[in-house]
Every structure is written in structure tokens, then in C-alpha cells.
């Protein structure tokens, strides 16, 4: 399979789909939706083929393609995937159809809406496969365009403000990251992630940068920290890490729910992917120098976002803050793995566990969060747009199937053993506790608060007295039930047999952790 340009074809499929969807825009809305969904399912099928042909124990990147591109910048078209890239491709391929199925309430400019969703999927594929900064940065930035217009044109009453906040915050982060990588290029004459990572792990990267770009007013350590800060900010905004998170709640709340699903299910993983692919291998020393402040940011991201979610009354806004909380566990584990532990074999095994937990949590959060927002879309469709926590009650009496299936997704988000949300969080805490005990102990508060507000949702929305206005709400249709079966089933499968994912990504996770032992 490696001789065929699978990754390029995969990236082109949603682009071709967007063109076709625009071409059939004059047809009925049903035709447009089915055409877009069909192309997203083709992309999913291709991703599963990549999964089938992937060799988990092989070192390096697979399905690589390398072609000369911009010679004066020494930039090549270089793509490839390891276990992490493959997992993110699969997540993007799963989340996109969910977002489309949750967008049935869109009735205006339908062809443009679904074309933008397909373009966003193409940008996700490009980001998770590019191994050269120029190529990667183009997809990173291009992803902002469809996301901005999806929020701005089909969002709620405050969509203009939400879209502008989203654009400004992410653009500022992108600019600082671009400046840092320009500095790296001027010193190394390379944009290739593989080459830059090798230089960092051999200890040559920062001396090269300081020797060529060092400023007499800054020490070499300060020069390195400035470059690290620029890259860190770009990824921290995207995740987001508190206090760079303030764009997210409004954007997730005002965006059409199908778009919110793509934002939380896949696009937020771009920031975590950057932490793992770029920040850890290239700036491990700098992360160790400021590890305590970084850990405090991780704890704040976990605990404060959970507490804020608890205080919300809008279900969509509640899950927006909950999304920050769940991604905070990944940030905690990444910072824990960055801690210098020398050659201690016991602590190295804990790093392996924490890194496996990050991979699982990224995938499981994307699946669960997308499903929860999908349920909110279904509820909004039936209630005429109502989604307040205090607006419902007793819905299990008229919507028992909806209640049961959404309850499974809620318990997955809570981390109930037997469902997909448990094992990733367990591995994160198991691996992080011996490495950064105090930060991990404080972060347990996030688990407690999450359990409280999720159980509160179940109690206030589905139990108690049923308001008369909701007495005739219809339960899930047969089509909706059939659509939900694969994702709910996957929650059980990954909860009971996480090796389905761990068997593919474990070698990559170990290799990433091992690259830090020399820092």
C-alpha cells in the first residue's frame, strides 16, 4: 500500500466533495446533504484502509510522500503518519459525518454550509499528516477560513462576535508561532519537523539558533525561551489552555451544533497534536525550565473549567467548558512526560502510561463530545431551539430511548468504567501521579466536579416533573437510532477493549517518551 499516494488522495477527497456539493447546490437540500455525507464516508473508508495497512511496531513514519516544492526555502511536500497521526485521521473521519448528521436544521445556503464542512475536514487531514512546517502551517491557517464562516453565517445571535474572537485569538497565536519557526529556519535552513526534531534531540538546535540569531541583550537561555513561548502560545490558544480560552465558550455556544462538533471533536486536537508533534520533541529543555508554571496552567485548565461548567445553565455552554476540562487532562500528562527523570526505568514506564493515556483521551474525548453535542442538536430540533438546563425535566417519560443513549454518552464523559472515557483518564492519572504528584492530586478535583455537574444534568433534564409543554416531544426516530448505534457501540468497544487503539498507537507513544530521556 505504501507505493500509492494514499495521504494525498485522502486529503483531496473532501476537497473534491466540496466542489461537487457546490455544483449540485441547485438540487434539493436532501441531495446536497447525502452527497456531502457520501464523500465524508468515502474519506472514512480510506482512513480505515490506512488503519488496516498500518504496521504498529515499525519505526518512523509510514505512507510517506516526499516531493521537491519550494527550493529557495528548502521546503518539500513531505507527508506521512505514525500512530498519532493515524489516530487523528480516524477521529476527523468519524467526527465529520456526525457533524453533518447533526446539521439537519440548516436550511439556508445548504450547499455552501456542507462544502465548508468538507473543506474543514480536508484541512484537518492536511494538518495531521504534514511533516514540513510550510505545508503544515498552510493547512493550520486554512482551517480558520471555513470555521470562521461556518460560525459567522449560520451561528446564533452573537455569531459575529464569536467568529471574530475565534479568528483574532487563533491568528495571534499563529503569528507568534510563525515568527518562532522563521527564527528556527534562519538558523537551521530547514522546515522539516523530522530534521528539526533530530537536531533538538542531539542538543544542536538551540546552540545553532543562539549562534546565528542571539541578541546581546538576551542570554542564550532567554533567546531559546522567547522562541519556545511563541510556539507554545500558538498551540495553547488552539487547545485551549486557561487563560487563553476565552474565545471558546462563546464560539461553541453560538456556532451551529454541527460546526461545534467539528470544533470540539477534531479541531481542538490540532493544538494537542502540536504539543506532541512539535513542542515536546523540539523544546523539551525549555519545558523543563518552566515546568512548574506549566503545571499550574494545566491544573487551572482542569479545575477552573470544570467549576465553570458546573455554574452554567445553557447545556451547550456547559459542554463547552467541559471540553476544556477534559483536554486539560491531556495537557497535564504532556507536561508530566516532559519532566526530566534521568534513566529511572520505573518513571519511564509511567511516562509510557501517561502518553498512552493522552492518545486515548484525545480520541475518546472527540468521540464523546461530538456525540453529546449531537444529542443537544436533536433536543434543540424538537424543542424549537430550547437548551436551558432548567427548561426541561422528566424527559425520560416521553423520550426513553433518547434518555438512555444520551445517558451512556454522559457517563462516558464522566469516565465510568466500561465506557471509553475511563481508560484514558486512568492511564493519565496513573502515569502522571509518580511524576508530578502535587499537580495530579489537585487535578482530581476536576474529576469530582465533573461527576457532580453531569449527574446534575441527568437529574434536572431527564427526571422530576415533566412540564406540560414537553409532553408531546417525540422520541428518536428509527433513522436517528440507527445513526447513533455505531458511535454508542464504539464507546462500549473501546471501554471494554482499549487495546483496539492502544495496539496501534503504543509504539508511537513509547518512541515519543523516549525522545525526552536525553533532555
In sequence order, the 6+-apart residues with CB closer than 8 A to the CB of 485 are none
pLDDT tens digit string along 347-368? 888 999 999 999 999 999 999 9
Angle at 297 between CA 321 and CA 209, to 5 degrees: 125
pLDDT of residue 28: 81
Average pLDDT over residues 218-232: 83
| Relative orientation angle of helices 144-154 and 159-188, to the nearest 10 degrees | 170
Alpha carbons 63 and 1: distance in angstroms, whole number = 8
Alpha carbons 59 and 367: distance in angstroms, whole number = 28
What is the percent of the chain with per-residue pLDDT over 70, rounded to a whole number?
Answer: 98
Kind plus residue range of the DSSP H or E element containing 293: helix 291-311
Please name the residue ranges forming H helices in 71-204.
83-101, 110-129, 133-142, 144-154, 159-188, 193-201
**124-138, 194-208, 243-257: lowest mean pLDDT where?**
194-208
Alpha carbons 479 and 95: distance in angstroms, whole number = 18
Query: Is residue 508 over pLDDT 80?
Result: yes
CA 118 to chain centre: 17
Alpha carbons 225 and 243: distance in angstroms, whole number = 19
Sign of CA dihedral 43, 49, 51, 57: negative
Query: What are the φ/ψ torsions at residue 314 (nearest 5 degrees)?
Result: -90, 120
**Residue 425 near residue 415, CB atoms below 8 Å:** yes
pLDDT tens digit string along 270-315? 999 999 998 888 888 888 889 999 999 999 999 999 999 999 999 9
pLDDT tens digit string along 434-475? 999 999 999 999 999 999 999 999 999 999 889 989 989 999
pLDDT tens digit string along 308-344? 999 999 999 999 999 999 999 999 999 999 887 777 7
Sign of CA dihedral 336, 88, 111, 316: negative
Q: Helix, strand, or coil here: 387?
A: coil
pLDDT of residue 13: 96
pLDDT of residue 344: 75
**Residue 171 near residue 144, CB atoms below 8 Å:** yes
pLDDT band at 195 (very low <50, low <70, confident <90, very high): confident
Q: For the chain, what is the mean pLDDT?
A: 90
Query: Is residue 513 over pLDDT 70?
Result: yes
pLDDT of residue 517: 58
Helices first, then strands: H and E counts in the chain: 23, 2
pLDDT of residue 417: 93
Query: Is residue 214 over pLDDT 70?
Result: no
Among 404, 407, 166, 174, smallest CA distance to 264 is for 166
Round to the nearest angstrom and report the end-to-end CA distance of the chain.
36
Alpha carbons 348 and 435: distance in angstroms, whole number = 9
pLDDT of residue 1: 47
pLDDT band at 226 (very low <50, low <70, confident <90, very high): confident
pLDDT of residue 191: 84
| Relative orientation angle of helices 400-414 and 345-383, to the nearest 10 degrees | 150
Residue whose C-alpha cell is 474519506? 43
pLDDT of residue 29: 84
Average pLDDT over residues 463-488: 92
Average pLDDT over residues 47-72: 90
**Residue 45 near residue 109, CB atoms below 8 Å:** no
Query: Is residue 519 over pLDDT 70?
Result: no
Among 271, 80, 88, smallest CA distance to 193 is for 80
Q: Which three cell numbers stand for residue 54?
A: 498500518
Would you say how long the chain is, in residues?
Answer: 519
pLDDT band at 233 (very low <50, low <70, confident <90, very high): very high
pLDDT tens digit string along 87-141? 999 999 999 999 999 988 888 889 999 999 999 999 999 999 999 888 899 999 9
Query: What are the φ/ψ torsions at residue 177 (nearest 5 degrees)?
Result: -65, -40
Amino acid at each position: 500500500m505504501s507505493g500509492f499516494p494514499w495521504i494525498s488522495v485522502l486529503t483531496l477527497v473532501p476537497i473534491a466533495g466540496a466542489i461537487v456539493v457546490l455544483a449540485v447546490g441547485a438540487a434539493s437540500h436532501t441531495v446536497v446533504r447525502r452527497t456531502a455525507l457520501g464523500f465524508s464516508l468515502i474519506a472514512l473508508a480510506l482512513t480505515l484502509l490506512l488503519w488496516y495497512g498500518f504496521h504498529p511496531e515499525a519505526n518512523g513514519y509510514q505512507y510517506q510522500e516526499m516531493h521537491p516544492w519550494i527550493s529557495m526555502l528548502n521546503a518539500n511536500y513531505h507527508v506521512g503518519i505514525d500512530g498519532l497521526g493515524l489516530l487523528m485521521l480516524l477521529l476527523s473521519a468519524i467526527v465529520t459525518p456526525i457533524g453533518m448528521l447533526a446539521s439537519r436544521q440548516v436550511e439556508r445556503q445548504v450547499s455552501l454550509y456542507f462544502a465548508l464542512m468538507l473543506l474543514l475536514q480536508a484541512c484537518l487531514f492536511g494538518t495531521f499528516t504534514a511533516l514540513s512546517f510550510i505545508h503544515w502551517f498552510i493547512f493550520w491557517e486554512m482551517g480558520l477560513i471555513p470555521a470562521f464562516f461556518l460560525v459567522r453565517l449560520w451561528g446564533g445571535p452573537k455569531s459575529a462576535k464569536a467568529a471574530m474572537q475565534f479568528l483574532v485569538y487563533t491568528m495571534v497565536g499563529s503569528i507568534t508561532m510563525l515568527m518562532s519557526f522563521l527564527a528556527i529556519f534562519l538558523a537551521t535552513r530547514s522546515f522539516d519537523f523530522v530534521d528539526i526534531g533530530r537536531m533538538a534531540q542531539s542538543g544542536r538546535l538551540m546552540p545553532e539558533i543562539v549562534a546565528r540569531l542571539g541578541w546581546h541583550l538576551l542570554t542564550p537561555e532567554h533567546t531559546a525561551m522567547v522562541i519556545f513561548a511563541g510556539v507554545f502560545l500558538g498551540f495553547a490558544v488552539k487547545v485551549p489552555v486557561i487563560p487563553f480560552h476565552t474565545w471558546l465558550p462563546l464560539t461553541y455556544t453560538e456556532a451551529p451544533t454541527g460546526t461545534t462538533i467539528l470544533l470540539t471533536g477534531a479541531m481542538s486536537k490540532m493544538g494537542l497534536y502540536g504539543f506532541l508533534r512539535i513542542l515536546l520533541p523540539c523544546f523539551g529543555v525549555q519545558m523543563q525550565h518552566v515546568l512548574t508554571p506549566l503545571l499550574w496552567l494545566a491544573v487551572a485548565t482542569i479545575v477552573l473549567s470544570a467549576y465553570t461548567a458546573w455554574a452554567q445553565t445553557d447545556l451547550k455552554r456547559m459542554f463547552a467548558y467541559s471540553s476544556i476540562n477534559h483536554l486539560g487532562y491531556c495537557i497535564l500528562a504532556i507536561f508530566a512526560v516532559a519532566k526530566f527523570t534521568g534513566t529511572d526505568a520505573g518513571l519511564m514506564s509511567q511516562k509510557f502510561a501517561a502518553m498512552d493515556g493522552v492518545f486515548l483521551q484525545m480520541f475518546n474525548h472527540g468521540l464523546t463530545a461530538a456525540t453529546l453535542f449531537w444529542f443537544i442538536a436533536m433536543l434543540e430540533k424538537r424543542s424549537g431551539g430550547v437548551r436551558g438546563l432548567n427548561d426541561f425535566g422528566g424527559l425520560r417519560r416521553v423520550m426513553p430511548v433518547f434518555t438512555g443513549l444520551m445517558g451512556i454518552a454522559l457517563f462516558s464523559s464522566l469516565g465510568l468504567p466500561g465506557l471509553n472515557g475511563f481508560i484514558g483518564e486512568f492511564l493519565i492519572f496513573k502515569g502522571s501521579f509518580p511524576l508530578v504528584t502535587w499537580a495530579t492530586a489537585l487535578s482530581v478535583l476536576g474529576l469530582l466536579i465533573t461527576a457532580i455537574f453531569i449527574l446534575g444534568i441527568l437529574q434536572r433534564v431527564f427526571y422530576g416533573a415533566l412540564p406540560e409543554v414537553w409532553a408531546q416531544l417525540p422520541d428518536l426516530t428509527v433513522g436517528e437510532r440507527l445513526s447513533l448505534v455505531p458511535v454508542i457501540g464504539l464507546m462500549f468497544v473501546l471501554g471494554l477493549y482499549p487495546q483496539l487503539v492502544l495496539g496501534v498507537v503504543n509504539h508511537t507513544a513509547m518512541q515519543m517518551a523516549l525522545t525526552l530521556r536525553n533532555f
